[in-house]
Structure 1
């Protein structure tokens, strides 16, 4: 009897599962479940993002066909009325369409800024479509558009690279053949950055090798500083500098002296 009891206990001891094994199985189960859930979630997110992006491209393609293809062609490869847009990137589309310069209202020396006829989401959709056709400059990161850079350095860079057309105060100026450099007061930081990046109209391209993203941010900081701090010298005379001030003196100053002299002479007679 004693021998059978011991034998039964021994069998039960051998068949009993160790507590460590139980914990290990639970951990393996949790890790497997968590990993599968994470994989499924990331896949679902990627699929959703891809679907959203493709939907934006499709919407942009429809808008492009309805509003831009007449000049740029159905495949955006260009026609005799407009250049190819393959490879211009999202930044060029956002600038041209976002400022109302495109679609072009009428032929002329250069496209004029006007109220845009598209919503921001529609502009982004067209930018996504054109960007999908070929690699080009993308829209700038928001950290470069805060106007919190080095205004002094931005002023130096602006004088060297931009002032010969836009004036040292960003007031704009005339160019040849009816073209002009527009004033930069009131222009959004994003559009200023995109203009430097893509070189619209007669403007040269300042890519990131010419002017780094941080340098562009400093230029934007300088221009926004000018907007917030008007000239302390009184009437600005169009910000055209000493030439306009000299002409003002010659025309109005000397003209006033001559007028007073004639008046005094006439009075004495």
Structure 2
């Protein structure tokens, strides 16, 4: 008598099995990614806490590795770069925070670009330069942050006076709308439409590149503060009346009307003439 073969019963696979398997895989992948992200974040926080404690000694190391080639080990300058004696920490912070330094390439003017160092590193280098060859330093907070002068209870910011001082002393290069302008030999005055108050003050005090130095005999600290307040107000001002056209006044508006307005009338006249013919 033939022995019957036992066949293992094969149950039908549930249609939700594939979905469950995919869901489990996604959960596992998400958990691994979340854990890795948390680990990286903690490492970044640790690095940030370390960089915030940089000192002038750390700044010297950064200077030696990144700046001494052009400015010299003793800050006396070389054929490739000027001396830093007397420029002060304010000038160093301005040049490095705006990305002008380290210099990308030799040219008529150092362009502004994204900074290559963190704020803590920049402050450390500036502190080192200030300790070796002191110069202009950071202003009191009342100058750039609009706070009252603790030594003068009647101190107030005058936007009208600041705008007038800007037109008299700065508009010939930076444009009356602070939109910047061209200078000679490929140089230019940068736009001030997004410049911070600290960097405005630093430029007036240190005179970077083609910028003249405005000492207290030219513009008092209060005058500088008024100019900064007027420019910051202009940055935050809500534009009304349609397109700003660069805020350059009747010149740009007249050019716009001449090209588009009269051009549209000429095109309409030609079309009407061709239609009638």
The answer as to whether partners of 1:172 and 1:182 remain within 8 angstroms in 2 is: yes
Matches within 5 A, 1:41-120: 56-120=55-119
Aligned to 1:256: 264
Aligned to 2:33: none
Whether 1:152 and 2:168 are equivalent positions in the alignment is: no
The answer as to whether partners of 2:93 and 2:123 remain within 8 angstroms in 1 is: yes
Residue 99 of structure 1: CA displacement?
Answer: 1.1
Give the TM-score taking structure 2 as reference length.
Answer: 0.74
Aligned to 2:20: none
The answer as to whether partners of 1:87 and 1:133 remain within 8 angstroms in 2 is: no
Aligned to 2:47: none
Secondary structure of 1:220's partner? helix
Residue 56 of structure 1: CA displacement?
Answer: 2.5
Aligned to 1:15: none
Listed one character per residue, the Cα deviations across residues 168-198 of structure 1 (whole Å, up to 9, x for unaligned) are 2211122222221111122111111101111
Distance in 2 (alpha carbons) for counterparts of 1:264 and 1:224: 50
Secondary structure of 1:204's partner? coil
The answer as to whether partners of 2:205 and 2:214 remain within 8 angstroms in 1 is: yes
Distance in 1 (alpha carbons) for counterparts of 2:204 and 2:275: 61
Distance in 2 (alpha carbons) for counterparts of 1:57 and 1:208: 29
Secondary structure of 1:82's partner? coil
Equivalent position to 1:182, from 185, 190, 212: 190
Residue 219 of structure 1: CA displacement?
Answer: 0.9
Distance in 1 (alpha carbons) for counterparts of 2:84 and 2:127: 12
Aligned to 1:128: 127
Mark the CA change 1:209 to 1:135 in structure 2 (over 3 Å): closer, same or farther.
Answer: farther
Listed one character per residue, the Cα deviations across residues 114-147 of structure 1 (whole Å, up to 9, x for unaligned) are 1212222211111122122323211111110124
Distance in 2 (alpha carbons) for counterparts of 1:155 and 1:120: 31
Query: Which of the pair is proportionally richer in helix?
Result: 1
Give the TM-score taking structure 1 as reference length.
Answer: 0.76
Moved more, 196-205 or 241-250: 241-250
Whether 1:233 and 2:241 are equivalent positions in the alignment is: yes
- Provide the aligned C-alpha RMSD in A: 1.5
Q: Which has the larger radius of gyration?
A: 1
Distance in 1 (alpha carbons) for counterparts of 2:101 and 2:215: 22
In structure 1, list runs of 5 or more residues that go unmatched. Answer: 1-54
In structure 2, list runs of 5 or more residues that go unmatched. Answer: 1-53, 148-156
